[in-house]
Amino acid sequence: MFKNYLGKYENELLESVIPFWENHCIDKEFGGYFTSLDRDGSVYDSTKYMWMQWRIVYMFGELYNSEYSRGEWLGIAQYGFDFLRKNGRDKDGRYYFAINRQGKPAIAPYNIYSECFAAMGGAAMYSCTKTELYKEAALDAMNNYIKRIDNPKGQWDKSLPGKQRYQALGHYMMLANLGLTMKDFLGTDEYDHDIESAIEIVLSKFWNESLGVMFENILPDGGFDLDSCDGRMLNPGHVLEAMWFLLKYFDDYSRDEAKIEKVAMIIKKTLEFGWDKTHGGIYYFMDALHKPHLELQWDMKLWWVHCEAILACLYAYKLTGDQEFYDWFEKIHAWTWAHFPDSEYGEWYGYLNRQGEPTHALKGGKWKTFFHLPRCLLYATRLMKQMEK
């Protein structure tokens, strides 16, 4: 069933995506990585954004742990870890949003996703080496993430009392994924309660049964705000990513048929709602009531959204056997591979217009790095091999 796809995914990972970043991302003078890479891999900005940096540490650690393991991948991950652990934190141990090329603080630690990806990077490094320093770094960042989740921006929040407060889907989906990452890489059950709590919040609070959509933001009391753009905002890619996180947990550790059935239903509804029926592909942002969206890029097609959709379909097909998920996989695969890969320079374009034409030539930047794509290719290959057996 998947024989025609396996070689394509594996080859893209090993012969295109990994070499592109191996050849272009390492800052050999100051440490860490370049992530603002143009189409050909040349550097167009040297700012080091913490999410992007730690994601590279994590991904090369994950690859070193994989069935394709190469010693140089561990070296690349260690090189970034050392630079970021030394330069990336403030006096309270919070990771900055960005540092400059030399490692000096550039943007304050206002965003808890810096802690999120630092935790993942440290955990992957510990799994590779069993060195306590990496475990300590992972747990420090993980505990900081949990501590900050109720007030993520802290002292750097620019909002005034008149601004509506929300709970964000991203914070809880990543809490579930972080707990799973700690369980996978550190072998600890310390965060099992956090995983289960996050799953319950995501499935019971953010899902709106009457509208058949999962909201990006909900009110502090768990209600839905249909009177504002922020309240009605939908992010199909986030939902699909969150759902495969949950399916991975159910598959690996805690099979719950009722929850698997609900997740499968949410994936179907999200794909039906988020698919562009005119031009194909999945929208970036949407409005729950189909009203105008404040984000001008709402109808763009982004690489990461389609990567997460592929994984959501494969996990759902594996756990349910429902043919509809295989059909969706084929449909998303066809559109994705027809528009994102760059056959001339390698890697993938990240940003397309609604029609599927590249709007930016870059391969990395403030929000794109060595993460969603290689993770998709690695995990998709594994899932397809498992199902072929």
**Cα separation of 363 and 14, whole Å?**
17
DSSP helix/strand/coil, 45:
strand
Counting DSSP H helices and E strands in the chain, the numbers are 14, 13
Q: Of all helices (H) and strands (E), which one includes residue 351?
A: strand 351-352
Which single residue is written with the structure tokens 């999200």? Answer: 270
Which single residue is written with the structure tokens 């050392």? Answer: 82
R_g of the chain computed on alpha carbons = 20
Residue 389: the pLDDT is: 85
Nearest to 301 by CA among 336, 266, 344: 336
Residue 115: the pLDDT is: 97
Domain parsing of the chain, residue ranges? 1-25+187-389, 45-158
Check: CB of residue 230 under 8 Å from CB of residue 164: yes
| pLDDT tens digit at each of 389 positions of the chain | 899 999 999 999 999 999 999 999 999 999 999 999 999 999 999 999 999 999 999 999 999 999 999 999 999 999 999 999 999 999 999 999 999 999 999 999 999 999 999 999 999 999 999 999 999 999 999 999 999 999 999 999 999 999 999 999 999 999 999 999 999 999 999 999 999 999 999 999 999 999 999 999 999 999 999 999 999 999 999 999 999 999 999 999 999 999 999 999 999 999 999 999 999 999 999 999 999 999 999 999 999 999 999 999 999 999 999 999 999 999 999 999 999 999 999 999 999 999 999 999 999 999 999 999 999 999 999 999 999 98
Integer CA distances (angstroms), 135 to 78, 119, 128, 280, in order = 13, 9, 11, 43
Q: Tell me the sheet residues that pair with 36.
A: 45
Who's near 13: CB < 8 A, 6+ residues apart? Answer: 68, 374, 377, 378, 381
DSSP secondary structure letters along 152-201: TTGGG----TTSPP-EEHHHHHHHHHHHHHHHHHH---TTHHHHHHHHHH
CATH of domain 1-25+187-389: 1.50.10.10
Query: With the C-alpha atoms ordered 247, 365, 71, 307, is the resulting torsion angle positive or negative?
Result: positive
